[in-house]
């Protein structure tokens, strides 16, 4: 399991953060698939591979490594996020082979539609509710044609670091 310090498990008045354990994998995958279904319903192909049974981020292994965090309202899953201390092959393709020291990579931020609006709170929690030794920035990426998400990340203080050849914008935010 990855080393971290949970500074504050309380994300909102009713939502608490926890590290997902292997027994939560089905719950995490269910939330990701429901998010992919919702994305498809609004005309997006983002995360469509999940609906075909393909998980490019290998979520089960990420849970096993301790890189997945689950957000609950009591027993109800409200959201999930993956925070990778080691860059994935995807991250290395986007950001290059060098310069990964001090970065954590945020992937698979997904929200139960009942908790629409929780994404900003989860981003703030990732910035200050959890701490990883030696980490001073969060990196993430977003497909370039999703104007809503690009606006969401830039509005949350993430700096656009350019467009990767894959068609994804790279974002980074310095944290304390």
User: Domain extents for the chain?
Assistant: 5-136
Distance CA 20, CA 77 (A): 11
Q: pLDDT digit string (tens) for 1-59?
A: 558 999 999 999 999 999 999 999 999 999 999 999 998 998 888 899 999 999 988 99
Q: What is the number of other CB atoms lying within 10 angstroms of the CB of residue 35? A: 21
Question: DSSP string of 132-152?
Answer: -TT--EEEEEEETT-HHHHHH
pTM over 0.85: yes
Distance CA 153, CA 142 (A): 9
**Vertex 24 angle, CA 9 and 173, to 5°:** 45
Domain 5-136 has CATH 2.40.50.70: no
Q: pLDDT digit string (tens) for 67-124?
A: 999 999 999 999 999 999 999 999 999 999 899 999 999 999 999 999 999 999 999 9
């Amino acid at each position: 399991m990855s080393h971290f310090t949970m500074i504050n498990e309380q994300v909102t008045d009713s939502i608490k953060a926890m590290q997902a354990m292997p027994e939560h994998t089905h719950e995490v995958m269910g939330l990701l698939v429901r998010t992919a279904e919702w994305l498809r319903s609004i005309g997006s192909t983002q995360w469509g591979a999940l609906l075909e049974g393909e998980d490019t981020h290998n979520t089960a292994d990420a849970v096993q490594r301790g890189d997945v965090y689950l957000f609950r309202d009591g027993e109800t899953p409200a959201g999930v996020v993956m925070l990778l201390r080691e860059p994935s092959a995807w991250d290395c393709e986007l950001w290059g082979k060098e310069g990964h020291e001090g970065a954590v990579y945020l992937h698979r931020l997904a929200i139960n539609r009942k908790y629409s609006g929780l994404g900003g709170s989860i981003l703030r929690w990732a910035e200050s509710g959890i701490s990883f030794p030696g980490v001073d920035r969060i990196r993430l990426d977003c497909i370039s044609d999703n104007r809503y998400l690009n606006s969401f990340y830039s509005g949350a203080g993430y700096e656009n670091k350019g467009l990767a050849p894959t068609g994804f914008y790279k974002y980074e935010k310095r944290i304390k």
